[in-house]
Each structure stands twice: as C-alpha cells, then as structure tokens.
Amino acid sequence: MTNTASKVKTLEETVSLAQQWREAGQTVVFTNGCFDILHLGHVDYLEKARNLGHKLVLGINTDASVGRIKGPLRPVVDQYARARLMASLAFVDVVVLFDESTPESLIRAIKPDILVKGNDYSPQNIVGADFVVANGGSVKTIPLVDGYSTSKIIEKIKKAF
C-alpha cells in the first residue's frame, strides 16, 4: 500500500531525489502552481506534464504564498491537504511546498530537465526558463482544458448561494 504523504518532500529531499533520477538516466520534469481546488484541468495538465519525462516534481505554493498571489480569501484548501491530494495522483512523483511568490529558487535547486507550464504562459515569460535552458534543459507549454479553473469554480459556487 502506498502512503501518499511519503511523496511530500522537503526541498533537500527533492533535490537529492532529482539528482539520483538524473544519474540513473531519467528525465526530471518540474511544474508548479497553487492547485487550490483539484479539478479536471489540473489532472489533465499534470498527466501530460509527466508524460514529457520519467519523473514529475510538483511545486505547490504554501498558504501564505497563495494569499499573496490570489488574495486574502485564498487558498480555500490548506497547503497540507493540497499537497496530499496532489501526491495521491499516480503520475506525480514528488510534491514540494514553497513559500516564495515564484518557484525560481526551487527550479535553481532542483535543476529540472524540462520545465512545464500551461499554454496561458509564453515560454519566455515562464519563471526559471532562462536557467533551465542555460543548463541544457527545455521549456514546454501544455494546452489547458477549456472551462476549468479554480477561480471559475469558486465564482460558480458563490453564485449558487
């Protein structure tokens, strides 16, 4: 039986795992986000991200970081619950929390082979893209599933009440 909590790692543990995977010839993919309310768009995006390589490292914003980015009423779901939910997905290999507004320091520490974001970002505007490319990696964007976003789900819920 798998313990999903064991997939939630510290930065140091994540860096060590990424290094081990690369040494074993595996491709490390990195992406990040708030992942406040898990929905089909998240699942589709992360599954496609994982299919770009052998291992998927997922950076998740802490509650404080989400609040700075999305406002004082977010996140809806706390960071530990979000981390466990995302770790429960079979195609997510490691979840690591970060408190900064961007994942720049995570990317520099983990040194992913492939950096991924949704296609609502242009590759030149993706945080950490320059670093990944300068270190021989690549940057990819993945089409998002239309009609799915946490903000839209929250708005729909508000209208229902």
Dihedral pair phi/psi, residue 97, rounded to 5°: -85, 145
pLDDT tens by residue, the chain, 161 residues: 467 889 999 999 999 999 999 999 999 999 999 998 889 999 999 999 999 999 999 999 999 999 999 889 889 999 999 999 999 999 999 999 999 999 999 999 999 999 999 998 888 889 999 999 999 999 999 998 887 787 788 788 878 88
3-state percent breakdown (helix, strand, coil) of the chain, nearest 5: 45, 20, 35
**Helices marked H in the chain:** 11-23, 40-50, 63-70, 79-87, 104-110, 129-134, 150-160
Number of domains the chain is built from: 1
Global pTM exceeds 0.95: no
Torsion angle of the four alpha carbons 147, 103, 106, 135, in this order, in degrees rounded to the nearest 10: 90
The CATH number covering residue 86 comes to 3.40.50.620
Range of the domain at 12: 4-160
Task: Please state, in angstroms and rounded to a whole number, the distance separating the CA atoms of residues 65 and 71.
Answer: 10
**With contact defined as beta carbons under 8 Å apart, do 54 and 28 qualify?**
yes
Distance between CA atoms of residues 64 and 69, nearest Å: 9
